[in-house]
Amino acid sequence: MARQLPLNDLVAAGDQLIRIPRPDLEGRECAYSTLAELQALVGRHPNLQGVVRARQALDLMRVGADSAPETFLRLSMLDAGLPEPELQIELRPGDPRSPSADLGFRLHKVAIQYDGAHHLLEPQQQIDRRRNKAFERAGWTVIIVVKPDQEDGFAGALKRIRHALRNSAANPVAASGFANE
């Protein structure tokens, strides 16, 4: 695959191989592979065409992306010079009933949700509203990213994320009132 896929697509494929499944939704409990297994596979083929891109992709793969758009958003954030976000952030760590954000920054209390097509269905919208309200009640900023954001290279979403980080209480410049200077 490393010979044919662009780097971001290769990372997204790898993220899907190493992600922790949701047993109640997928009927499986184990990831298809681990990062260590993929590294060993690439290590066994040091002269194969595409091995350099495969190594680059391995460096960018993360457990926690539930979809390719989540991976593409994370990579766009890195390309834009934003800090690397945490993935699957639980509002209340260790609480199995805690809502979670797809990506975000715990220190800054910024939760980022990539809402794909299934989020347009009313039952899922109700769940999403409860999840978002829980984060907001806890003082978090919630940023919703959707497919049209991806179509413009996440430019609008990156601007919203940058603004939220700049204005977070964890940012000493923002807390002192000089965030927009």
- For the segment 108-133, the average pLDDT, to the nearest whole number, is 82
Q: What is the pLDDT of residues 113-123, one digit of tens each?
A: 998 756 565 76
Q: Could you tell me the pLDDT band of residue 163, with boundaries at 50, 70 and 90?
A: very high
| Residue 34 reports pLDDT greater than 90 | yes
Domain ranges of the chain: 1-63, 64-181
CATH class of 64-181: alpha beta
Higher-confidence position of 177 and 110: 110
User: Could you tell me which of 77, 76, 57 has the C-alpha nearest to residue 12?
Assistant: 57
- For the segment 136-165, the average pLDDT, to the nearest whole number, is 95
Q: What is the pTM of this model?
A: 0.87
Mean pLDDT estimate for the chain: 88
* Residues with Cβ within 8 Å of residue 76, at least 6 apart in sequence: 153, 154, 157, 158
- How far is it, in rounded angstroms, from Cα 83 to Cα 10? 21
